[in-house]
């Protein structure tokens, strides 16, 4: 996960708690997070490359810079790392989206894919001029991706007449550039039934929050049998021992036990589910949801020693999970410790 | 204020091309044309030369035949420090809030060196390929709303609410501001010759961009804009050689084959743009508009090919005549793309600056 603007402190160290507070407060009007931070991001990107990370996810919201432009700028500064651009449908015409995606691919030697989000907050969507309901947004996302995929199949001019989009003799000369000659990978995220269907019909990978392997196994098997990959979003706390990791996790709990940023995502099933996981905060010995009622399911945390964490990743691999998008507090320290301590153990198996 | 000189940014592959014939639009819209792909190496070289030549900005053109302008500006902006980018963009392609978020982000990553050229859309066929089915006049009505929403975001006076015929926004908020050392919003160039385009420039633009014409023909129009506080920028080509005769010979050498003429005329006559129709009519009617202004290349290279031809002194004098009627900016191109710009920077700009100092 690419850090927010200004999150990467180039001078001096941050505690995990400072890093977490910075991210929580990034949605306030006084935060420097909405300003692009090429210096901090480049530093993080180089560490991520060295750690063996394949891609960074660049999130989309009205609180942040546009992820397309960020990927393009950062892609000039680093030469190996790939970028997963999160985007909402309903913000631009699919033809324009394809032209932008293709241009950024050509400017970064094919290092882009995208994560389509149907939109998790109706208030935020209305601020972008989008007034559809949750289910209608998925119906539109289906059409949106169908048009995009038609361009990427490259079988001549694109004609499409749907309920939400209409394109006549669409043509974009700039091709999608990729290292394997294929069209972009499409991550579809969400826990709702329409998001799952969208992942199958138009996506290459279904992106969900991490859960206990036993609960995920049938879901993952279903997705894999439909030919799409499964990617889990999780946060990571890695310390020499499990006890130390738990101590760090506890330090992240807000002083105000009622603090919540979930209210901002009123229209997301994933966030509604997250808000309901009160009480039992351990999904298993390593998977902790103590922060989820406050900040949502993407704060689901895998914690423990390097050995324990490596075992958990292997467990997920066994049930068919193919990818992970990880974040931590601070982002730079987490990526370093993951690359140094955890990844070698996983590769050895 | 000194005259501001901008240059037309070359398409992919053009920096290395030597003749006008190679770079004609007919060639760049063909399948497999190098214009479809970014040319970062050539562009970075061109951009640095532009900075040396005293060029303030480059205009990046928008079409389905080229990479997206916002990202070209972003990438080339990383390779330069001074040059500004006038990003052309069509309307009807995205929500205004999304557009503002992209432009603001771009401003933040290239030190605020971005302005906009808003084009309502010059080809129905191309617009339909983008999912836009409005007619010419409606496109301008939408552009009015679109820019009005954008400007509300840039005014930064709290949440944006707007209910129009084409745009509707409720509680719009964007946290990434337009970031520039000297501005809180980009300059907005509105181009087009139609009544609607002129109206849009007056209500929502900071500068009216149009094709060059003789100073006599332009004086009235320019005055009308300047009286309302809107600058005027002229789009033209130059051919500058040591003498007027050399320049004439160089200009005539740019005339291409009949085949290219036939194809270009077909593109021009299929358009519903008034700008293109006007330019073609001028070329067919007169050819030479005055001693230095030649429309002879328009049938071959498109409406923006009206060319100022002459010696450095001829050109400097012509630019000063435009300055006298109130024109403040120019967007220029020439052939070969790089060489003509270097000649301009070396031979013409110093003469203009000298003349400006003695005013």
Domain range annotation of chain B: 4-357
User: What is the spatial distance between Cα A110 and Cα A106, in angstroms, rounded to a whole number?
Assistant: 6
Q: Which of the pair, B175 or A255, is modelled with greater confidence?
A: B175
% of chain A surpassing 70 pLDDT: 94
CB within 8 Å of chain B, chain A residues 56-95: 62-66, 68-70, 72-73, 76-77, 90-95
Give pLDDT tens digits for A321-346.
999 999 999 999 999 999 999 999 99
Whether A77 sits inside 8 A of B175 (CB atoms) is no
Residue B298 confidence (pLDDT): 85
Across residues A175-203, what is the average pLDDT? 94
**Chain segment A123-181, per-residue pLDDT in tens:** 899 999 999 988 899 999 999 999 999 999 999 999 999 999 999 999 999 999 998 88
| Contact predicate B113/B76, CB 8 Å | no
Closest-CA distance, B196 to chain A, in angstroms, reads: 24
For a pLDDT cut of 90, what percent of chain A falls above it?
79
Which residues fall within 8 angstroms of residue B177, CB to CB, at 6 or more apart?
A: A34, A35, B104, B156, B184
Judging contacts by C-beta atoms under 8 Å, the chain B residues touching residue A126 are 169-171
What would the mean pLDDT of A106-120 be, rounded to a whole number? Answer: 91
User: Which of B29, B94, B125 is closest, CB to CB, to A92?
Assistant: B94
Whole-Å CA distances, A34 to A15, A30, A113, A129, B165: 22, 10, 22, 20, 31
Shortest distance, CA B71 to any CA of chain A (angstroms): 7
Report the pLDDT averaged over residues A177-186: 92
Which chain B residues are within 8 Å of A64, Cβ to Cβ? 175-176
pLDDT reading at A267 higher than 70 = no
Flag if B70 and A100 touch (Cβ within 8 Å).
yes
Higher pLDDT, A117 or A269: A117
pTM of the model: 0.94
Terminal-residue alpha carbon distance, chain B: 11
Q: Is pLDDT of A95 > 70?
A: yes
Tell me if A127 and B172 make a contact (CB, 8 A cut-off). Answer: yes
Q: What is B4-357's CATH number? A: 3.20.20.30
Q: Provide the pLDDT for residue A256.
A: 84
Q: Which of A108, A117, A127 to mutate to test the interface with B (most CBs of B within 10 A)?
A: A127
**How many residue contacts between A and B have a Cβ separation below 8 Å?**
176
Q: Is the CB of residue A63 less than 8 Å from the CB of residue A26?
A: yes
Contact B101 A62 (CB under 8 A): yes
pLDDT tens for A32-72 read: 999 999 999 999 999 999 999 999 999 999 999 999 999 99
**Least confident among A84-88, A179-183, A261-265, B146-150:** A261-265
Distance from CA of A333 to the nearest CA of B (A): 25
Helix/strand/coil for A36: coil
Q: Does A45 touch chain B (CB under 8 A)?
A: no
**What would the pLDDT profile of A226-249 be if each residue is shown by its tens digit?**
999 999 999 999 999 999 999 999
Q: Between vectors from CA B192 to CA B239 and to CA B136, what angle results, nearest 5°?
A: 140
Choose among A65, A72, A158: nearest Cβ to B108. A65
Do residue A66 and residue B176 have CB atoms under 8 angstroms apart? yes
Please say whether the beta carbons of B131 and A94 come within 8 A: yes
Chain A residue numbers touching B160 (CB-CB < 8 A): 127
Ranges under pLDDT 70 in chain B: 23-28, 121-122, 259, 261, 268, 283-286
pLDDT for position B27: 63
Q: Is the CATH code 3.30.365.10 the one for domain A16-348?
A: no
What mean pLDDT is predicted for residues A174-198? 93
> pLDDT tens, A276-307?
554 578 999 999 999 998 888 999 999 999 99
| A94 contact residues in B (CB cutoff 8 A) | 131
């Amino acid at each position: 996960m690419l850090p927010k603007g200004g999150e990467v402190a180039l001078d001096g160290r941050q505690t995990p708690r400072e890093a977490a507070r910075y991210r929580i407060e990034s949605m306030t009007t006084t935060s420097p997070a909405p300003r692009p931070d090429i210096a901090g991001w480049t530093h993080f990107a180089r560490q991520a490359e060295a750690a063996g990370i394949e891609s960074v996810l660049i999130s989309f919201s009205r609180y942040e810079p546009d992820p397309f432009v960020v990927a393009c700028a950062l892609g000039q500064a680093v030469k190996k790392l790939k970028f997963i651009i999160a985007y909402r449908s309903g913000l631009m015409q699919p033809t324009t989206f394809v032209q932008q995606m293709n241009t950024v691919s050509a400017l970064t030697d094919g290092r882009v894919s995208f994560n389509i989000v149907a939109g998790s907050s109706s208030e935020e969507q209305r601020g972008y001029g989008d007034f559809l309901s949750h289910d209608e947004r998925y119906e539109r996302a289906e059409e949106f991706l169908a048009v995009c995929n038609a361009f990427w199949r490259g079988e001549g001019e694109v004609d499409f007449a749907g309920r939400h989009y209409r394109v006549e003799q669409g043509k974009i000369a700039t091709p999608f550039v990729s290292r394997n000659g294929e069209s972009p990978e499409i991550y579809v995220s969400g826990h709702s039934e329409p998001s799952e269907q969208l992942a199958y019909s138009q996506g290459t990978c279904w992106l969900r929050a991490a859960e206990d392997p036993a609960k995920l196994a049938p879901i993952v098997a279903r997705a894999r049998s439909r030919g799409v990959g499964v990617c889990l979003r999780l946060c990571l706390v890695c310390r020499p021992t499990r006890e130390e990791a738990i101590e760090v996790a506890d330090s992240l709990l807000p002083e105000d036990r009622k603090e919540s940023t979930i209210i901002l995502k009123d229209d997301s099933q994933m966030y509604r589910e997250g808000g309901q996981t009160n009480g039992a905060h351990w999904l298993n010995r390593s998977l902790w949801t103590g922060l989820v009622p406050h900040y949502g399911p993407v704060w689901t945390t895998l914690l423990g020693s390097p050995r324990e964490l490596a075992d958990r990743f292997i467990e997920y691999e066994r049930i068919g999970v193919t990818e992970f998008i990880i974040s931590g507090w601070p982002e730079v320290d987490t990526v370093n410790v993951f690359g140094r301590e955890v990844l070698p153990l996983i590769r050895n198996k | 204020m000194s005259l501001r000189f901008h240059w037309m940014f070359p398409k992919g592959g053009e920096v290395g091309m030597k003749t006008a014939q190679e770079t004609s639009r007919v060639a760049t819209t063909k399948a497999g044309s190098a214009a479809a792909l970014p040319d970062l190496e050539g562009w970075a070289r061109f951009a640095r030369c532009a900075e040396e030549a005293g060029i303030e900005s480059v205009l990046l053109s928008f079409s389905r035949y080229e990479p997206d302008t916002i990202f070209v500006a972003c990438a080339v902006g990383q390779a330069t420090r001074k040059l500004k980018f006038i990003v052309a963009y069509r309307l009807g392609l995205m929500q205004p809030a999304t557009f503002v978020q992209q432009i603001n982000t771009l401003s933040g990553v290239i030190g605020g060196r971005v302005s906009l050229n808003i084009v309502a859309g010059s080809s129905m066929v191309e617009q339909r390929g983008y999912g836009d089915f409005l007619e010419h006049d409606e496109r301008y009505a939408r552009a009015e709303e679109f820019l009005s929403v954008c400007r509300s975001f840039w005014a930064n006076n709290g949440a944006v609410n707007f209910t129009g015929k084409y745009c509707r926004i409720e509680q719009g908020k964007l946290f990434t501001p337009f970031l520039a050392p000297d501005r809180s919003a980009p300059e907005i160039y509105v181009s087009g010759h139609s009544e609607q385009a002129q109206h849009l420039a007056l209500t929502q633009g900071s500068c009216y961009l149009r094709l060059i014409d003789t100073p006599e023909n332009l004086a009235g129009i320019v005055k009308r804009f300047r009286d309302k506080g809107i600058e005027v920028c002229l789009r033209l080509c130059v051919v500058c050689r040591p003498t007027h005769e050399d320049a004439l010979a160089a200009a005539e050498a740019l005339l291409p084959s009949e085949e290219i003429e036939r194809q270009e005329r077909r593109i021009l006559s299929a358009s519903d743009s008034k700008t293109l129709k006007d330019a073609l009519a001028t070329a067919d009617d007169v050819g030479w508009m005055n001693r230095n202004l030649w429309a002879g290349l328009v049938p071959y290279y498109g409406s923006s090919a009206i060319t100022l031809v002459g010696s450095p002194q001829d050109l400097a004098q012509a630019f000063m005549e435009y300055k006298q009627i109130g024109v403040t900016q120019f967007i220029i191109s020439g052939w070969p793309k790089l060489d003509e710009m270097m000649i301009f920077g070396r031979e013409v700009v110093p003469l203009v600056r000298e003349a400006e100092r003695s005013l």
